[in-house]
Amino acid sequence: MTIRLVAGLGNPGAEYRETRHNAGAWFVEALARRLGVVLREEPRFLGLHGRASRNGDNVSLLVPTCFMNLSGQSLAACARFYRIAPDEMLVVHDEIDLDPGTVRLKSGGGHGGHNGLRDIVSHLGSDFHRLRIGVGHPGSAERVVPWVLSRANAEDMRRIGEAIERALDSMDDVLAGDFARAMNVLHQKPT
């Protein structure tokens, strides 16, 4: 099964642009640059959207421009338009349960308290793939919201950037649906 939609989660607006919660959006913006795709505002998808052709297959790149807790509306609109099944989607998001510099692929599962994933599951079910970018945990549950809505320090940003680069280097395998091969690379400890 090839991936036909890569969606990067984040919140819109300058005040959220550099926050940990936008790691998924950073990834898709970087992927678009790497593939030479221009992301343009697409009102019917409630997001920035572009298309690339990879090995004869078309893939949509999407960054929802609605707030995180409405991400499912954006993905569902794009999926309906292009007739993309959930198992043909890769959702890229921040993950507090992983340290900065860690990136993991996962297929299916729950939302784990992530409001963007919660909304996507409510619209599309849970059979989509996830690329989880570690942003670290603040140490207590009551500090999670301010943590993800704040900027990471310079060292954590460097590690997050390196994780995004490693994930970008594995995207040929991911887009082709070769998750085992991509996981062999991505799930190793960074050197």
| Residues forming a β-bridge with 47 | 42, 64
Apex CA 137: angle with CA 12 and CA 167, to 5°? 65
- 141-180: per-residue pLDDT in tens? 888 888 888 899 999 999 999 999 999 999 998 988 888 8
Predicted TM-score (pTM) of this structure: 0.94
Of the chain, the percentage scoring pLDDT greater than 90 comes to: 69
pLDDT at 189 over 80: no
- pLDDT band at residue 99 using 50, 70 and 90 as cut-offs: very high
pLDDT at 190 over 70: no
pLDDT at res. 90: 97
Catalytic residue among 21, 49, 93, 129: 21
Domains, the chain, with CATH or none:
5-186 (3.40.50.1470)
pLDDT at 191 over 70: no
Catalytic: 21? yes
- 20-33: per-residue pLDDT in tens? 999 999 999 999 99
Cβ(31)–Cβ(11) under 8 Å? no
CA distance 28 to 153: 22
pLDDT at 17 over 70: yes
What does the mean pLDDT of the chain come to? 91
**Cβ atoms < 10 Å from Cβ of 20:** 26
- 44-72: per-residue pLDDT in tens? 999 999 999 877 789 999 999 999 999 99
| Residues forming a β-bridge with 132 | 93, 104
pLDDT, average across residues 104-125? 86
pLDDT at res. 33: 96
Please compute Rg for the chain using Cα positions: 15
